[in-house]
Amino acid sequence: MSEQDGMSYAPLGRPRPVCGPGDFVFAAVGLDHDHIYGMCNGLLEAGGTLKWVYDPDPAKVAAFVGRYPLAVPADAEATVLDDPEVVLVAGASVPADRAGLGLRVLRHAKHYFVDKPPLTSFDQLAAVRAEVAETGKKYAVYYSERLHVESAVFAGQLIADGAIGRVIQVLGMGPHRLNAPRRPGWFWERERYGGILCDIGSHQLEQVLFYGGSDRGKVSSSRVGNFAHKDHPGMEDWGDVSVVLDNGAVGYCRVDWFTPSGLGSWGDGRTFILGTEGTIELRKYLDVGRDPEGDQVYLVDNDGEHHLSVHGKVGYPYFGQLILDCLEGSEEAMTQEHALAAAQLSLEAEANAIRIED
Amino acid sequence: MSEQDGMSYAPLGRPRPVCGPGDFVFAAVGLDHDHIYGMCNGLLEAGGTLKWVYDPDPAKVAAFVGRYPLAVPADAEATVLDDPEVVLVAGASVPADRAGLGLRVLRHAKHYFVDKPPLTSFDQLAAVRAEVAETGKKYAVYYSERLHVESAVFAGQLIADGAIGRVIQVLGMGPHRLNAPRRPGWFWERERYGGILCDIGSHQLEQVLFYGGSDRGKVSSSRVGNFAHKDHPGMEDWGDVSVVLDNGAVGYCRVDWFTPSGLGSWGDGRTFILGTEGTIELRKYLDVGRDPEGDQVYLVDNDGEHHLSVHGKVGYPYFGQLILDCLEGSEEAMTQEHALAAAQLSLEAEANAIRIED
C-alpha cells in the first residue's frame, strides 16, 4: 500500500496527547476501508489507547495488528462492546453497514467514530439521530478531507480570523484515483457504498457547511454519471452538487474517479473559497506540476497574493478535541448536528440527482 | 487605463495577415465597452483595414482615434453602414443595444462582429437568427476569454489531439474586478447589461460548448446573487450555472465581481477540463502566487504532470479565420450556430436562475 493511491491515506502528525495512557481507551471495529488507519493514527497521536481490533476477516485484522502491534484481536464484536473500559469504537466497515454498527455501539453506552460516509439512507439517519438523543453518546464522523488535511484546517482558521471577509461560495473538487483492480466488490455496488455524492461527496458537503458557516443547507441541483465504467452498472464515476445555505452562502462540489495515473497523488483535491474581501485556494495533496508537497494555500486579499506552505505546521486538532469531548461532554471537535447535517445533505444530493445519460 | 483592471483587456499578438491592405475593410461602431480595442487589435493583426469609427460620444471617439490614428470619425452611423467598401462592422455598445445595431448592419449587407454578450433577450435572439438566415451575413461574437487567450486556444488543440480522452466536464471560473467608480451607469442596470450569467457568463458557457464538443445544451440549474452591492439593486455580483450537453458532457461555471484588489490581474480566470484520460487546468491571466505571467497550462495524463507556459507561443487564429470566413463564405473561425447557442444558453441560465436570498 502506498499513499500514492489514496486508498490508505493515513496522515501522521506530531503526537500531541491530551490525556495519559489508559485515560481514553478505544477499539477498531470494521476494517473495510483503510481510512481506519488515519482514524487510529489521529486518536493515538492525541493520546488515545488502542485496546481491541475486530473484523470478521482475519486477513484485515492481521494487517491491522502489523501496523498497531499493541491492538488485541477480539474474538467477536461483542467482546469489544461489552468491555466497560472501551470509551469509543472507531469503525470503517462497508458504508451501508456503518450505521448498524454505530447503533450497537451507542446502545452499549460507547461513543462511535465512523469513517465517512457515516450512513447511506434516510432511515439510518433517523435511527442514528434517535439513538444519539436517547443515549447522549457521540456519532462522530471522520471527514478526513478537512479534518486530516492541514491546509483545510488552516483555511478554517483564516476564515474565522476574517481574512477573506464574509464567505460567499465554497467550491470543492474531490477527484479520486480509481485503482479498479484493488477495489472490493462493495465498491461497485451503489446500495453498499451509497452513491458517489453520499460517499466521497460527503467530504465536500461537510466543507461547504463548515467554511460556509451554517449547518442548514438545501440542494439546488445535483447530478451523477457513469461515464467510463459501464461494465459496472452500480458505479457512479462522476457527480456534482450545488447547495445554498440558510445564511445565503452557496456551495458547489464536484467529485470523480478519474485521477490520471500520471498524477503524483491520489487526487488533485482543491478547495476554492470566495469571500467578500478575498479568496482562498487550497491545493491539498500536491501543487500540480509545481511541487509534490501538499497543503499549499493561496490567499489573495486586498493587500496581495500570499502563498503559504503549511504542511507540518498546523497539525490536526480534531482528534484531541474529540477525545476531550468524549471525556468531558463538550462539543469542540465538531457538533453532532454538523456531522449529521453533512450526511443529510449528501443523502439529499444523491437521492435527487439528475442521472447524466451519455 | 491599464490591463490590470481588465476593463481594457486588449491583447496584442504578432501580426499574421491573411489578406493585403484594403482587402478587408472594417469599421468600429459602438465604443461603450473597451473590448472594442481587443476586437480591433485582432482584426488589424490579421490584416484587416480599419476605415471608420463611430460613436455618439465624441470623447470615446477621440480616445479611439488616439489608439488608431488612421480610423476616420464618421459623422453618423449611416455613413458607415452606407459605405459599400465596409465588409464588417465591429461593435461593443451597451449589451442591450448590440442586437439592434447588428440587425441594421446585417440589413446593410455587412458582417457584424459583436462583443459578448451578443444580445440580451430571447426576442433579440429570434430576430438575429431570422436576419442571419435572410441575409446570409455573419453575426460573429467576441468571446474573448477563449478566443483571445492563448492557453484557451491551446486547450482546444490539446482536446482535439485527444490528450485527455473524452471530455467529461468543463468547469470554469470567471472572476472579474469590479472597479466600481469607473463603471458607467448601464453597468448597474440589469436590463442594460443582461444579468451576470448573460453577460460574463456567456464567456464561460461558450467554453463549455466548445471544449465539451456540442452546441446543444440544457441548463440543469443556475443561480444569481447580489451579496455585497445592495445599493445597486440591479447588480448581480455572483452567479453560477450547471449545464449538460446532448453528448453527455457536463459543465459548471461560476462568475463573480469579487477579484480582491491585491490580485495582480483583473481576475484569476481558471478552466478545468476533466477527461476520461487526463485533466487540463488553465491559469489564464496569472499563476496566482507563483508567476504574474498568464497562459499557464497544467496537463495531467497517464504519463505525468506537464506544466506548459504557452504565452506568446500560440497566437490568436480566430481573427484571421474570421476575415477569411467573411471573404470566402467559410465557417472556420466559429460556426454561427455555436456563437448563438452560447448566447441562448446564457439567456436560459439567466432567465431561470434561482435568486440567492442572503
Mutate to test the interface with B, among A266, A293, A356, A357 (most CBs of B within 10 A): A356
Measured in angstroms, the CA of B59 and the nearest CA of chain A are apart by 32
Whether the ipTM is more than 0.85: the answer is yes
Cell numbers that stand for B3 in this block: 490591463
**What is the pTM (predicted TM-score) of this model?**
0.96
When divided into structural domains, chain A yields a total of: 2
> Is residue A339 included in any domain, yes or no?
no
Q: What is the pLDDT of residue A9?
A: 67
In the beta sheet, which residues pair with residue B140?
B113
pLDDT in tens, A94-122: 999 999 999 999 999 999 999 999 999 99
Residue B261 has pLDDT above 80, yes or no: yes
Q: Closest approach of chain B CAs to the CA of A234, in angstroms? A: 18
Phi, psi for B288 (deg, rounded to 5): -50, 130
Helix (H) or strand (E) holding B114: strand B111-115
Question: Do A135 and A166 sit in the same domain of this protein?
Answer: no
Nearest by Cα to B166 from B216, B219, B211: B211
In a mutagenesis test of the B interface, which of A300, A303, A306 is the best target, namely the one with the most B β-carbons within 10 Å? Answer: A300
Quick one: pLDDT at residue A1?
34
The answer to whether the Cβ–Cβ distance between A288 and B303 falls below 8 Å is: no
Question: Do A233 and A159 have their domain in common?
Answer: yes
Q: Are A289 and B305 a contacting pair at CB < 8 A?
A: yes
What gap in Å lies between CA B210 and CA A117, rounded to an integer?
36
**Residue B215 and residue B174 share a domain:** yes
Of A221, A290, A304, the CB nearest to B242: A221
**B352 touches B241 (CB < 8 A):** no
Flag whether A341 is in a domain.
Answer: no
* B137 and B156, same domain (yes or no): no
For residue A306, tell me if it sits in a domain: yes
**A246 in reach of chain B (CB within 8 A):** no
Distance (Å, whole) CA B178 – CA A246: 26
Residues of A whose CB is below 8 A from B241: none
| Phi-psi group of B27: left, alpha or beta (phi > 0 → left; psi -120 to 50 → alpha; rest → beta) | beta
Query: Coil, strand or helix: which one is B21?
Result: coil
Domain-embedded: residue B341: no
Neighbours of B198 (CB within 10 A): 31
CB contact under 8 A, B252 and A250: no
Amino acid at B263: L
CATH number of the domain that A89 lies in? Answer: 3.40.50.720
Instruction: Name the residue of chain A whose CA is nearest to B172's CA.
Output: A171
B299 CA: distance to closest CA in chain A (Å): 8
Q: Is residue B338 part of a domain?
A: no
In this structure, is residue A1 part of a structural domain? no
Tell me the residue range of the domain where B299 lies: 150-316+347-356
Starting at the edge strand that comes first in sequence, how are the strands of the sheet with A88-91 ordered?
Answer: A72-73, A49-54, A25-29, A88-91, A111-115, A139-142
pLDDT in tens, chain A (358 residues): 344 556 666 787 778 999 999 999 999 999 999 999 999 999 999 999 999 999 999 999 999 999 999 999 999 999 999 999 999 999 999 999 999 999 999 999 999 999 999 999 999 999 999 999 999 999 999 999 999 999 999 999 999 999 999 999 999 999 999 999 999 999 999 999 999 999 999 999 999 999 999 999 999 999 999 999 999 999 999 999 999 999 999 999 999 999 999 999 999 999 999 999 999 999 999 999 999 999 999 999 999 999 999 999 999 999 999 999 999 999 999 999 999 999 999 999 999 999 999 8
A300, B202, B263 from A158: Cα distances, Å: 11, 33, 18
Q: Do B91 and B166 belong together in one domain? A: no
Name the E strands within A44-110. Answer: 49-54, 72-73, 88-91
Q: Does the bond joining B117 to the residue before it have cis omega, within 30 degrees of 0?
A: yes
Residue A338 lies in a domain: no
How many Cα neighbours within 13 Å face the side chain of B74?
22
Residue B206's domain is classified under what CATH number?
3.30.360.10
B22 touches chain A (CB under 8 A): no
B97–chain A Cβ distance below 8 A for any pair: no
